[in-house]
Amino acid sequence: MTETAQFGAKRVPLAAKQALVNDVFHSVARRYDLMNDLMSFGLHRAWKNALVTAVNPPRQAPCAVLDIAGGTGDIAFRIIEAGGAQTRVTVCDINPDMLEVGRARAATYRGEAAVTFAEANAEALPFADRSFDAATIAFGIRNVPRIEAALAEAFRVLKIGGKFVCLEFSSVDVPALDRLYDFYSFNVIPALGRVVAGDAESYRYLVESIRRFPKPQAFAAMLRAAGFARVSFQAMSGGIVTLHSGWRL
């Protein structure tokens, strides 16, 4: 029997999901950060700042961070700004178009030397065991075909005492807001995608993928199954996003 995975609202062969996701991000890469601003009314900036605060890179000590599925460099540059002179971030992403955007941004960034980019699959990271002090992923874990494999890899590359921080869309838990959010997601966001990025279907997939992602308690259980300890999560903006974390102890 062919193994399948969820791709938005439909099931597809597991082996085909990564190529379909790649097509989505090939289409949206050039307008990705702009669309984040428009879709979230700028709130994504506060959510990402909360992730950086959770990482808490030290000001006076070396800190090596791996940002998974972070091609445009948005999270990486924020971590560099928050950390000290010895903070280094490796950005990995399976999509070369997203990495191209990140590298172009880095070329004009004063902390360019502190950020490196690598084309890599979250399910098979090309990094040594126990090589990072922290690992992050923002709005990317739901697009990974084998989430359990990606969590196992994040755990593997973390040093003992290292922290994993994941920011992901979640389930709105405020009455009335949930219905408004659904209307906005399935009607306004694809329309924005059509006007700004010339692609409504990719943004329809991104909205559908949010609804299929595990609830916070279920994802916390997946983190524990991967080996993480002191797992916790915090809902933000009425549950629109959730910040998850766990430690390798």
DSSP code of residue 234: E
With both helix axes pointing from N to C terminus, report the angle between 216-225 and 147-157 in degrees, rounded to the nearest 10: 50
For the stretch 5-60, pLDDT in tens is 545 455 556 555 666 555 655 555 666 667 677 777 788 899 999 999 999 999 99
pLDDT of residue 20: 56
pTM listed for this prediction:
0.85
pLDDT of residue 115: 94
228/249 Cα distance (integer angstroms): 7
Tokens of 15: 């082996």
% pLDDT > 70, the chain:
84
Beta strand 132-138 pairing with 115-119: unpaired
CATH code, 4-247 = 3.40.50.150
Which region, left, alpha or beta, applies to residue 184 given φ > 0 means left and ψ of -120 to 50 means alpha? alpha
